[in-house]
Structure 1
Amino acid sequence: MPRYRRLTARGVVVRQPWEPRSCFYWLYAAVEPRSGETFYLEMPSLDAGCFSVFLREFGRCYRDSLNVLVLDNAAAHRARSVEVPENVVLLFLPAYSPEPSPVERLWRAIRARLDVFDERVRSQLEALRAHVAEIVRGLRAVEVSRLTRYDYILAALNAL
């Protein structure tokens, strides 16, 4: 959908179609640090609506358990319109401190593998999506567990 934006002299209204130059997609993920089990969902944007869809699908997939998700304070995570299933609990980290989140280390590992990706192909969204999907499929549970299991999380999980 084109947007209209243009600098003009005061009082002059000129409308010209403007198309964004970049396309995006978002990969949502949840990780179980002990087992390395992951749940991914690709979405068109990062907003409360898409996050609610992710939570609903996650809750459906793991309906027989109570699931605690550790999250940063992104606006999409904290929006009032977010619909949280009954079997999902959101645990927010302190503001401006995403580092303790287990999934952040997973994102770093995926990005590190993207850094060697050909920049010409990286600019093509479909090729990038295919490459990210290949990376995600190639991550073994042992590797994900090694990346995401912090001692404080394991202690909390063992206390349950």
Structure 2
Amino acid sequence: MYEFTHLDTVCFENFLELFASKYPLDLHIIQVDNGGFHSSLSLSIPENVILLFQPAYSPEVNPIERLWGYLKEQLKWLRCECIQELRESVQKELKNLTNEIIGSLTGWEFILDAISVAEL
């Protein structure tokens, strides 16, 4: 089992701060698992970010799992000669994602309900 470190918390905080500052006028609901650094008491969360915790031991409700499944489906027949070729192929697929595709993969009712409760 992975033991989180202070560095994990710092990295997550940096991510949240960069993300929040990139879109300062928006309120962001970010779904996270129950990893220790996601719920650390010392974690500083920007005012325009809400963390939505998924139920414990339930990766099937994590929208990113569906997104990764979609990407794997797009790349399943790909044969790469090197890791750089794989990176470029993944980046290309990520750039091809549209709001409609992302919404169809991640717009689950419990997430939409959370947004509704937040009156967004």
Normalised by the length of structure 2, the TM-score is 0.75
Greater shift, 46-55 or 84-93, is seen at 46-55
Q: Aligned partners of 1:62 and 1:73: how far apart in 2?
A: 25
Q: Aligned partners of 2:12 and 2:78: how far apart in 1?
A: 28
1:136 aligns to 2:94 (yes or no): yes
Which one of 101, 115, 118 corresponds to residue 157 of structure 1?
A: 115
Match of 2:28 in 1: 67
Q: In 1, are the aligned partners of 2:32 and 2:53 still within 8 Å (CA)?
A: yes
Larger Rg: 1
Distance change in 2, residues 1:79/1:116 (3 Å) = farther
Deviations 1:84-109 (A, max 9, x none): 21211212112111222222211221
Which one of 40, 60, 81 corresponds to residue 120 of structure 1?
A: 81
Structure 2 matches for 1:99-118, cutoff 5 A? Answer: 99-118=60-79
The unaligned stretches of length 5 or more in structure 2 are 1-6
Which structure shows the bigger proportion of residues in strand conformation?
Answer: 1
Q: In 1, are the aligned partners of 2:33 and 2:56 still within 8 Å (CA)?
A: yes
Q: In 2, are the aligned partners of 1:49 and 1:81 still within 8 Å (CA)?
A: no
Which one of 60, 84, 92 corresponds to residue 53 of structure 2?
A: 92
The percent of aligned pairs where both chains have the same amino acid is 37
Which structure shows the bigger proportion of residues in helix conformation?
Answer: 2
Higher relative contact order (CA 8 A, sep 6+): 1
Distance change in 2, residues 1:54/1:155 (3 Å) = same
Q: In 2, are the aligned partners of 1:67 and 1:87 still within 8 Å (CA)?
A: yes
The unaligned stretches of length 5 or more in structure 1 are 1-45
Alpha-carbon distance, 1:147 to partner:
0.9
Give the number of aligned pairs: 112
